[in-house]
């Protein structure tokens, strides 16, 4: 089974609405990097049951992202922030005024403090 590397991010965003067994199975598979067999051994369930649980959980996470687009919006905002930071650095290099440079530094620091 190929791992979708966005699943851990989706799990962070939407995991709270999944049933505990799905959330825990996805967490063990993606975050702890356990194999299906290891998860089955840890939980006392069959490998097929774990496989099905993980697949259902992945589908649910993908459906939630498709409907709510939180990850997509976050990626969009992050890309815009990087563009703004780049433009601020250009303004700073072209500004000879110390007050202007301090203002650019202040704005840059405020942007850096944004958490997504």
Listed by start position, the domains of the chain span: 7-68, 72-112
Contact criterion met (CB below 8 Å) for 25 and 86? no
Q: In 1-116, where does DSSP find H-type helix?
A: 7-14, 20-26, 36-43, 47-68, 70-94, 98-112
Q: Cβ atoms within 10 A of the Cβ of 98, count?
A: 8
CA 10 – CA 58 distance, rounded (Å): 9
Provide the pLDDT confidence category of residue 4 given band limits of 50, 70 and 90.
Answer: confident
Question: Structurally, what CATH architecture does the domain formed by 7-68 represent?
Answer: Orthogonal Bundle (1.10)
Mean pLDDT of the chain: 94
Q: What is the pLDDT of residue 1?
A: 64
Q: For 12-16, 44-48, 89-93, which range has the lowest pLDDT when averaged over its residues?
A: 89-93
Q: What pTM does this model have?
A: 0.80
What value does the mean pLDDT take over residues 64-83? 96
């Amino acid at each position: 089974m190929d791992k979708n590397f966005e699943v851990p991010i989706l799990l962070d965003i939407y995991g709270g609405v999944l049933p505990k067994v799905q959330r825990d199975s996805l967490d063990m598979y993606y975050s702890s990097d356990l194999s299906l067999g290891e998860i089955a051994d840890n939980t006392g369930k069959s490998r097929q049951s774990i496989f099905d649980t993980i697949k259902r959980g992945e589908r649910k996470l993908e459906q939630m992202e498709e409907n709510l687009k939180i990850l997509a919006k976050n990626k969009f905002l992050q890309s815009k922030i990087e563009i703004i930071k780049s433009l601020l650095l250009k303004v700073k290099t072209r500004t000879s005024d110390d007050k202007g440079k301090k203002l650019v530094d202040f704005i840059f620091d405020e942007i850096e403090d944004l958490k997504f």
